[in-house]
Amino acid sequence: MKAVGIILAGGGSDRMKGLTDIRAVAAMPVAGAYRAVDFALSNMANSRINTVAVITQYSSRSLNEHLNAPSWWGFGRKQGGLYLLNPTITPESTNWFRGTADALIQNLDFIKERHEPYVVIASGDGVYKLDFDDVMAKHVESGAQITVVCREKEDTDSERFGVIEVDGENRITAWHEKEEGAAGQYINCGIYMIRRLRLIRLLEECKRRGEYDFVRDVLVKNLEAERIKAYVMDGYWKNIASAQSYFECNMDMLNPALRKCFFYDYPRISTKVDDFPPAKFNDNATVRNSLVAGGTILNGTVENSVLFKKVYVGDGSHVRNCVLLNDVYVGDGVTLENCIVEKKVKIEDGTCVIGDPNNVTVLS
Amino acid sequence: MVKKEMIAMLLAGGQGSRLGVLTQRVAKPAVAFGGKYCIIDFPLSNCVNSDVDTVGVLTQYQPLQLNTHIGIGIPWDLDKQVGGVTILPPYEKSGDSEWYTGTANAIYQNLNFMDSYNPDYVLILSGDHIYKMDYGEMLERHKKSGAEATIAVMPVDWEEAHRYGILVTDDQGKVTEFEEKPANPKSNLASMGIYIFNYQTLRNALTELEHVPGCDFGMHVIPYLFRETGKVYAYEFNGYWKDVGTLTTYWETNMEMTDLVPEFNLYEEFWQIYTSAESHAPAYMGADAQVSHSIIGDGSEIEGKVKRSVLGSNVRVGAGAKVIDSILMNGAVVEEGAVVRKAIVADGARIGKNARLGEGAFEPSRLDAKVYNSDLVVIGAGSVIPEGVTIGKNTAISGITEAEDYPDGALPSGGYILKKEGKR
């Protein structure tokens, strides 16, 4: 593949109800066994992008730990590799990354040292499957200078995403960043393709002007100067931005077609594998419409839920519409509904928490 | 010069013929166990957990799946700059070339491999037992006792002792007598087939015995060293250890894993067992699934009922299907409405819609009464069972079978169907 990948994974979110206190959004566990960043990373690896940099900043320990063995995604070879770019103090700068463009600007030397003609930039919080070969083919065919991966707008999207208007040739003519009721057919998925030398030039201009944000300062300001085109992806795409969207994304994985797409159809989404024994169902376990990861031991009733690794559910407990992260211990006689339970949390015997399905409760 | 204190040689070349069609296309050490593992994962994991980082794996019978599983040893951290895991198949030599004719002969043919690590001690293991054991502790005892060879033994029930190779020892653990399957045993310490030798002693013995046909550790090398040196010691092991060499013990040992608190507990952090796992996805239980007293591997999708069973990775159990008292290995498929009772279904086998396995009453096997002597239905890897057929107890099926292979839509108890081709 003629592109180098850059994954922007440096952010937390204040709408995650504390779930990102201990990890970046890109490190959020998804679908019982994966992390959000696995999707962008696997898509790149599956498109034979050999060199990928993950830019981290916010609460990066968990993410670094997840990425410590690049071979799970097929990196760590003589050709290419997986690079973790953390904020660093240099003689020039003692700043943190002040925005997405600034994060790239502070790593310009990494970008300059590549030999691949293109760069794919993707955020680490998207859950989707995308063939970057196809994005590149369309990029070249359409004569775009920058390609922005988009999808059709849904009703509630305007305030959460960048809304994009295009002309008859899919050239982006207007961009409304998180404006309620904005016009436009598409929303921005936060995935971009651009020639590497052009990216370097645009970033250097930003640097001169003291600008930090990729969408605002590189894309929106250049809608006229550059041919920026939309690539419309179909299929599932969700970004993890709030506790509610995170919850919904996990619940979506109860859909068999989606699991087939992500986890069984080649090429698959990969993740770091842990050595846990298979899930164990004891005599009184009742488990319906739920995902159950390795190392889990179940005694009670579990319905419409996603259970991550090494979860324990005690006797006579009822877990419904819940997401239980790694190492959660649910004692006996517990009732949990519409909850996300943070990893390693112990729920004492007899606890009852019933959340609102439209505004889930986070137990941490 | 490269120097390893102790290296391990893992004998993984046997067919394990008492596992019947389960080992028709794979060597016994590559047979699945416990919903995720292969039998060989236990000795390999024991090695790394015991700081033994150099392991030669001797293969001969049907090695493809075993080779694929082991690869370059990554899951066990056995991909090393110096040492690690090396697959040792038999090879052609100038002059007399032969297959591995016995356990000790196989080791003898790999003296050059062992020499290259210049070890003080060699640990001999076999790839057909389920256990967790610290070989480092055994080595300490070996050194302390001044033994030339140490044999791991475990106490067995006195009534069972006549089935084993029995060692009689003095109070220092020094072996004073061997009894092979004795009618009236003097001791209940059974050999586990795990040995530590001083390397030079072993090297000399193997060279001395090179012309013995089918040279075997238990039959030739140990008696030879006992005679020549008198310094053969027993190391008593009191943990969990199961030989899974027969269909019944294989099935029972798997079933024990589903107990509330299994005697052999894989859920504790200490002494992890590693394996080469293909699937990452969690298991999924459908809206009408009923799963109890079972373990279910990653990536399996269950719509039907599963009770007292061990399911591997990526297994599918369709709606209305029932799986009871059974083992389904990786990738097995049980289609809608099928009933699987007391069966072992090997990797990738497919049970057609509404087929019924394990019906009727026990009949002696018409294939091999030594191998098939229980109620178990045994389905080989990649086999296909057509829709709607009925299969009796104590049966064996291998290969892609079709409706015409089942007169009156049934294979009666004690029967078998062996076809050449399995699905890939």
Contact of B138 with B122, CB cutoff 8 Å: no
Q: How far is it, in rounded angstroms, from Cα B235 to Cα A339?
A: 53
B377 reaches A (C-beta below 8 A): no
User: With an 8 Å Cβ cutoff, is B43 touching chain A?
Assistant: no
Contact (CB<8Å) A281/B296: yes
Q: CA distances (Å), A159 to each of A176, A177, A182, in order?
A: 9, 8, 8
Residues of B within 8 A of A294 (CB-CB) are: 36, 282, 298
**Residue A335, token pair as written in the block:** 């009732």
- Rounded to the nearest angstrom, the minimum Cα separation between B72 and chain A is 13
Residue by residue, DSSP assigns A122-187 as EETTEEE---HHHHHHHHHHTT-SEEEEEEE--TT-TTTSEEEEE-TT-BEEEEEET-TT---SEE
Rounded CA-CA distance B324/B306 in Å is: 6
CB contact under 8 A, B273 and A277: yes
Q: Is B255 on the interface with A (CB under 8 A)?
A: no
pLDDT recorded at residue B16: 86
Q: Which fold has domain A3-263?
A: Spore Coat Polysaccharide Biosynthesis Protein SpsA; Chain A (3.90.550)
Give the span between the Cα atoms of A311 and A330, in whole angstroms.
Answer: 8
Q: Are A315 and A297 in contact (CB under 8 A)?
A: no
CATH T-level topology, domain A280-363? UDP N-Acetylglucosamine Acyltransferase; domain 1 (2.160.10)
Q: Taking a C-beta distance cutoff of 8 angstroms, is the pair B222, B151 a contact?
A: yes
Most confident of A68-72, A307-311, B275-279: A307-311
Give the N- to C-terminal CA distance of chain B in Å, as an integer: 46
Give the pLDDT score at B143. Answer: 97
- What's the CA gap between A265 and A259, in Å, rounded? 9
Q: Report which residue type is found at B327.
A: I
Q: To the nearest 10°, the Cα dihedral for A29, A237, B315, B299? A: -10
Residue B263 has pLDDT above 90, yes or no: no
Q: Does B287 touch chain A (CB under 8 A)?
A: yes
Tell me the C-alpha distance between A233 and A227, whole Å: 19
Residue-wise pLDDT for B345-388, tens only, equals 999 999 999 999 999 999 999 999 999 999 999 999 999 999 99
Instruction: Give the closest-approach CA distance of A306 to chain B in angstroms.
Output: 9
Identify the burial level of A208 via C-beta atoms within 10 angstroms of its C-beta, where 0-12 means exposed, 13-18 middle and 19 or more buried.
Answer: exposed
pLDDT number for residue B424: 57
Judged by CB atoms closer than 8 Å, whether chains meet at B281 and A263 is answered as yes
| Higher-confidence position of B312 and B279 | B312
Residue B72 confidence (pLDDT) above 80: yes
CA distance B316 to A151: 34
Cβ-Cβ contacts under 8 Å, B289 against chain A: 287-289
Interface contact B282, partner A, CB < 8 A: yes
Interface test with A, best of B258, B288, B293, B298 (most A CBs within 10 A): B298
Name the closest residue on chain B to residue A291, using Cα atoms: B284
Give A-chain residues touching B301 at CB under 8 angstroms.
256, 259
For chain A, give every domain's residue range: 3-263, 280-363
Measured between beta carbons, which residues in chain B are less than 8 angstroms from residue A306? 282
Per-residue pLDDT tens over the stretch B112-133 = 999 999 999 999 999 889 999 9
- At B96, the pLDDT band (50, 70, 90 cuts) reads confident
Whether residue B284 lies within 8 A of chain A, CB to CB, comes out as yes
The whole-number pLDDT of residue A274 equals 87
- DSSP letter for each residue of B182-198: -SS-S--EEEEEEEEEE
* Residues counted in chain B: 424
**Distant-in-sequence, close-in-space partners of B27: CB < 8 Å, separation ≥ 6:** B12, B13, B14, B15, B16, B59, B60, B61, B62, B63, B65, B66, B127
Helices (H), B55-189: 64-70, 103-108, 111-115, 135-145
Find out whether A171 and A177 touch, Cβ atoms under 8 Å: no
Average pLDDT taken over every residue of chain B: 94
B274–A293: do the CB atoms touch at under 8 Å? no
Give the chain A residue nearest B275 (alpha carbons): A275
pLDDT at residue number A216:
95
Q: Note whether B258 contacts A: Cβ–Cβ < 8 A.
A: yes
**Could you give the CA distance from residue B49 to residue A91 in angstroms, rounded to a whole number?**
46
* A309: nearest CA partner in chain B: B282
Show Cβ contacts of residue B161 under 8 Å, excluding neighbours closer than 6 positions: B182, B185, B187, B188, B190
Mean pLDDT of A145-159: 88
- Placement of tokens 């019906």 in the chain: B359
Q: Does A290 contact B284 at a Cβ distance shorter than 8 Å?
A: yes
Q: How many contacts does A have with B, using Cβ atoms within 8 A?
A: 113
Distance CA A190, CA B292 (A): 44
Task: For chain A, give the number of residues.
Answer: 364
Give the tens place of pLDDT for each residue, B178-211: 888 889 999 999 999 999 999 999 999 999 999 9
Q: What angle do CA B256, B258, B261 make, to 5 degrees?
A: 85
Q: Give one DSSP letter per residue of B18-55, joined into a string.
A: GGGGGGSSS-GGGSEETTTEETTHHHHHHHHHTT--EE
- Min Cα–Cα distance to chain A from B96, Å: 42
Question: Token digits for B83?
Answer: 């040492």
Smallest Cβ–Cβ distance between B289 and the set A254, A288, A295 belongs to: A288
Nearest-angstrom CA–CA distance, B360 and A346: 48
Q: Which residues contact A224 (CB under 8 A, 6 or more apart)?
A: none
Do B277 and B313 contact (CB within 8 A), yes or no? yes
* Alpha-carbon span B387 to A160, nearest angstrom: 52
**pTM for the predicted model, two decimal places:** 0.93
Report CA torsion sign: A297, A299, A305, A311: negative
Selected for mutation to probe chain B from A275, A282, A297 (highest B CB count within 10 Å) is: A275
User: What residues of B are in contact with residue A71 (Cβ under 8 Å)?
Assistant: 74
Chain-chain contact of A254 with B273 (C-beta, under 8 angstroms): no
Q: Which two tokens mark B164?
A: 């084993």
Q: How far is A242 from chain B (nearest CA, A)?
A: 23
Residue A277: its chain B contacts at CB < 8 A? Answer: 34-36, 266-267, 273, 295
Give pLDDT, residue A167.
95
Contact B301/A at CB under 8 A: yes
**CB–CB of B36 and A290 under 8 A?**
no
pLDDT digits (tens, 9 = 90+) for A211-224: 999 999 999 999 99
Q: B1 pLDDT exceeds 90?
A: no
Name the closest residue on chain B to residue A273, using Cα atoms: B280
Encoding tokens for residue B23? Answer: 């080992």
Q: Are strands A126-128 and A361-363 parallel, antiparallel or unpaired?
A: unpaired
pLDDT of residue B278: 76
* Confidence at residue B7, expressed as pLDDT on a 0 to 100 scale: 98
Query: Which residues on neighbouring strands pair with residue A34, listed in sequence order?
Result: A30
Least Cα distance to A274 among B42, B73, B282 occurs for B282
Closest chain A C-alpha to B299 CA, distance in angstroms: 8
DSSP-H helix ranges across B197-282 = 199-208, 222-229, 247-256
Q: Would you state the structure tokens that stand for residue A204, as one six-digit string?
A: 């250097």
Domains A3-263 and A280-363 share a fold: no
Comparing CA positions, the residue from B251, B388, B250 lying closest to residue B325 is: B251
CA-nearest residue to A312 within chain B is B267
Q: What angle do CA A206, A211, A213 make, to 5 degrees?
A: 100
Q: Which residues of A touch B311 (CB under 8 A)?
A: 278
